[in-house]
């Protein structure tokens, strides 16, 4: 299943790479001042497109991982404690949604789950973050919730690239800056470097979640 994510992520990344190639060729053919607004807009929209791939890759890895685990029919007592924050998410949320009249009954019912030690099936559409765009803080929340053992980033420098990617994508998406205003700050070489770094993270992310499933790191260590 992770091979499908890798294939689709790669296909989308190739589109971005070809866009950079087109921008480079266009700028080399005819250097005009001020620069062609279509090309500078394309350079700005590069960040929107690249963020979409970054988010697609991460969210697909999460949903696939949750689907695989849910299908394994695992009991509560077998999971690592932190993973239960995901597996029992709906039950945990319901604790905060109940009125005072029934709050204790709901708490007893929740803790009865541990005595009953039932098999847990859960939806695969949960991303364990605060719901904001995925910066390092959100990645940290995901890694902690899954109890992933590998580092969050393949290289610390990529954290800055992700921050920049989210900031520029949001600036365009929220109308704070136009694509051409952002695009004129970057050369094709600048875009290529950012492409390579996000490509590296996407490849790393797939590897991390695939390794997580293969080694069953969501289960308590054998005693």
Chain segment 124-140, per-residue pLDDT in tens: 899 999 999 999 999 99
What does the pLDDT look like over 23-59, one tens digit per residue?
A: 999 888 766 555 688 999 999 999 999 999 999 999 9
- Using CA atoms, how far apart are residues 95 and 197, in angstroms rounded to an integer? 41
| Per-residue burial over 16-32, b = 16 or more CB atoms within 10 Å of its CB, e = otherwise | beebbeebbeebeeeee
What are the boundaries of each domain within the chain? 2-73+121-214
Q: What percent of the chain has pLDDT over 70?
A: 97
171-198: per-residue pLDDT in tens? 999 999 999 999 999 999 999 999 999 9
Q: What does the chain come to in residues?
A: 223
Omega before 166 cis (within 30°)?
A: no
Beta-ladder partners of 79: 219
Q: Cβ–Cβ contacts within 10 Å for residue 138, how many?
A: 19
Say which DSSP state 119 is in.
E
CA distances for 199 relative to 9, 57, 208, angstroms: 9, 10, 14
């Amino acid at each position: 299943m992770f091979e499908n994510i890798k294939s689709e992520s790669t296909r989308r990344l190739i589109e971005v790479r070809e866009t950079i190639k087109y921008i480079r060729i266009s700028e080399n053919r005819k250097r005009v001042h001020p620069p062609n607004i279509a090309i500078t807009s394309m350079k700005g929209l590069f960040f929107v497109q690249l963020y979409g791939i970054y988010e697609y890759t991460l969210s697909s890895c999460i949903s696939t991982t949750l689907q695989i685990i849910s299908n394994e029919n695992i009991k509560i007592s077998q999971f690592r404690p932190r993973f239960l924050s995901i597996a029992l998410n709906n039950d945990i949320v319901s604790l905060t949604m109940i009125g005072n009249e029934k709050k204790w009954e709901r708490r007893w019912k929740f803790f009865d789950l541990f005595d009953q030690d039932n098999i847990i099936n859960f939806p695969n559409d949960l991303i364990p973050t605060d719901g904001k765009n995925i910066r390092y803080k959100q990645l940290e929340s995901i890694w902690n919730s899954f109890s992933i053992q590998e580092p969050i980033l393949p290289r610390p420098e990529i954290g800055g690239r992700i921050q920049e990617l989210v900031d520029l994508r949001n600036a365009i998406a929220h109308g704070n800056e136009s694509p051409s205003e952002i695009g004129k700050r970057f050369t094709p070489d600048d875009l290529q470097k950012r492409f390579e770094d996000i490509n590296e993270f996407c490849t790393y992310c797939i590897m991390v979640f695939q390794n997580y499933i293969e080694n069953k790191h969501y289960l308590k260590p054998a005693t």
